[in-house]
Structure 1
């Protein structure tokens, strides 16, 4: 039985029934079409000018949201194929996972969450669902409403990292880079997008994520835990041969692993340092040093994915990993090792004094831009959002339109729009 045969008609169903394609067009399966639609989406192109960790304009080497998404997609596809789940679905979810991120990355997300508290909040994953099912232009319902890219149920489910609403979300934990408590809660659907969410979750009870979404989420964790460290090394912000243990463990616990004790963190770092490609000398910018870092990233990605593959096979006993039939198993040691790498990037890159002051200015810019657009109304919005403003029937809905507009901007276009409206 092929992987395609494991997905039923409900998994391939689209919210809006589409006519058959031309008989002379290349034959593509439903999930292949989903992938193509995400690749060609305008929101995907905008990721190239959105911050991953540091701004995309700061250096030719550092990753932006698009290059990060491509790397996540590669990890997700390879892991899905190894596990026996559908590689196209996992890859599409990975390509789409950051589409909802606003300018300035998580820092912009924090600003918009505070500014939209009275109209349903803001969360990058909920915004991704909104883009895929409403804001991107591809398909319309019979009554004239946008259905976004009109992806299949299985693909939309795989794109849903947090399958619950804001009201159902747990409170935020940890701190931001400036040491203040986190304000962004994790959820996957705004209240006014609930109908399409309920449709894509047909037959699924509770909060359980499909296995393809779990693959996407792990691939994201693996990619940014490894690659953010790589970017920090090349940018001269950190040296893996000289780590401040006490400060690092404080950061790991406050950001990612609040319950981790020193012994488990020490063990994880020792195991990472035992990887043959872990650097023994500081990075010097030479071609050999660059090659050494690349070998380290490859070894770490392989290490993490290999451990998950082995643990999952051992736990599932050969059950087909399709939608809600099984769960991914991530060993505790692997979680801690990934958390340690994330903590290294957080301590030496995200918490750096120059970046913290820049982030404060970015949040101020986003706040001023939202208020300026609110005052301008439809006249200050792009035509598509101007139409949404005209159709909104209350202030909360109009506020959401302004938030959608700002979230769609790149770092550079947010600065340019702010300069034009605020000065």
Structure 2
């Protein structure tokens, strides 16, 4: 009988993955050494896996509401799939697999109710308090809101992950004010840290040049792109939102997908290149034009998603190794290389889902209602102080120094809610109605 990595059980600490220095394993709040068969990065992964934030993702929207369909993915199942893709790709490049796994499991922790629609709603509400961004909220959860370790003065160190783990989970290592310019000259709305979380950000980014992301963060980001590009299409097809054959048989549908891909993901790319990327995908042996709901068709769709994940991951692996060689590629000693054609193909898959699901006219009233629910909840909690806040957030509200800090606490509370809980709170607190949840 053997323990982790084929070692006899309790044979001492596991061998460390090459390419990591002792400082990569430092924690913001130093902890005494532990005699364990687990590595520091395995411990990081366990802390995220057992976190309340990860559990809540099971009731948060990925593309469609969690209770809308038994098949559709939630933020939790998406995060597990990203972790599987990222762990394998990262390991093949030399990254510590548990470190990449931690980043992948963490990457959506900061998303509020109702997915990206909810994120946009809270960002508009939070304009005067420094904005709201799901990735910055992720860091806030990892380093403050999740309860695991406390400093001697009683302030929270969150899960107290290692330096390398926090850096790996940081997809956008800059503040809102320092966000880079986009190709159209406007400043990106994406950022990874709020102003009052800068102390821990500066700690784990110490010595990192500029705004570059770590190898592990780049693997996580690519795994996220790959996963939702194919899985959102799978969900849409299986739920009968569209058929892929439409792209080949109805010119208007093809034009719609190409234009949506350009507008949403490839604004400076020639539409002819997007068209060529779509054609390459259609020419693969695994492309499923029509879904009839049979077991054969469902199996074919599963095979398509699996083969496309392999196609995109292998292309990135080969291109990265070609540039950086066969040494372990870790932390800030290399970059993930994605061939231009692969970037276009991934964007096309995302564009298909965007064209048929995210921009569906039938869903626009729902999106508007979701934004209204969050706005009214924030307004009510703003005016009632700590009265309705969970005890943890009520304490934060009492400790806040000014109105902006108190607004941030309210945003933390609302962002923590699941889709169904946000609706329940709105019914009960805003509308004064009794909310009845049906249990079977």
With the shorter chain as reference, the TM-score category is: over 0.9
Bigger Cα displacement from structure 2, 4-13 vs 98-107: 4-13
Distance 2:52 2:269 in 1: 41
Q: Deviations over 1:255-290 (max 9, x none)?
A: 11011213211211111012111124x201111111
8 Å contact from structure 1 (residues 3, 85) kept in 2 = no
How far 1:19 moved relative to its partner?
A: 2.3
How far 1:6 moved relative to its partner?
A: 2.1
Distance 1:148 1:158 in 2: 16
Distance 1:294 1:228 in 2: 12
Aligned to 2:189: 185
Q: CA RMSD in A?
A: 1.6
8 Å contact from structure 1 (residues 110, 183) kept in 2 = no
Aligned to 1:53: 63
Aligned to 2:166: 156
8 Å contact from structure 1 (residues 133, 148) kept in 2 = yes
How far 1:5 moved relative to its partner?
A: 3.6
1:369 to 374, 377, 391: 377
Q: Tell me the TM-score normalised to structure 2 length.
A: 0.91
Aligned to 1:32: 42
Q: 2:33 aligned with 1:20, yes or no? A: yes
Bigger Cα displacement from structure 2, 241-250 vs 85-94: 241-250
Distance 1:172 1:348 in 2: 26
Change in CA separation of 1:183 and 1:409 when aligned onto 2, cut-off 3 Å: farther
Written as runs of structure 1 = structure 2, the 5 A alignment for 1:44-193 is 44-170=54-180, 185-193=189-197
Distance 2:280 2:347 in 1: 13
Distance 1:170 1:402 in 2: 28
Distance 2:174 2:261 in 1: 26
How far 1:171 moved relative to its partner?
A: 5.7
Distance 2:323 2:109 in 1: 33
Q: 2:358 aligned with 1:350, yes or no? A: yes
Distance 1:344 1:407 in 2: 28
Distance 1:28 1:170 in 2: 39
Q: Tell me the TM-score normalised to structure 1 length.
A: 0.95
Distance 2:206 2:83 in 1: 26
Aligned to 1:394: 402
Q: 2:199 aligned with 1:195, yes or no? A: yes
Secondary structure at the residue paired with 1:199? Answer: helix
Distance 1:5 1:329 in 2: 21
Aligned to 2:4: none
Count how many residue pairs are aligned between Structure 1 and Structure 2: 412
1:284 to 255, 279, 292: 292
Aligned to 1:308: 316
Aligned to 1:215: 219
Change in CA separation of 1:184 and 1:309 when aligned onto 2, cut-off 3 Å: closer
Aligned to 2:11: none
Change in CA separation of 1:408 and 1:422 when aligned onto 2, cut-off 3 Å: same
Distance 1:360 1:173 in 2: 29
Change in CA separation of 1:256 and 1:44 when aligned onto 2, cut-off 3 Å: same
Which 5+ residue runs of structure 2 have no aligned equivalent? 1-14, 248-252, 432-440
2:422 to 400, 414, 418: 414
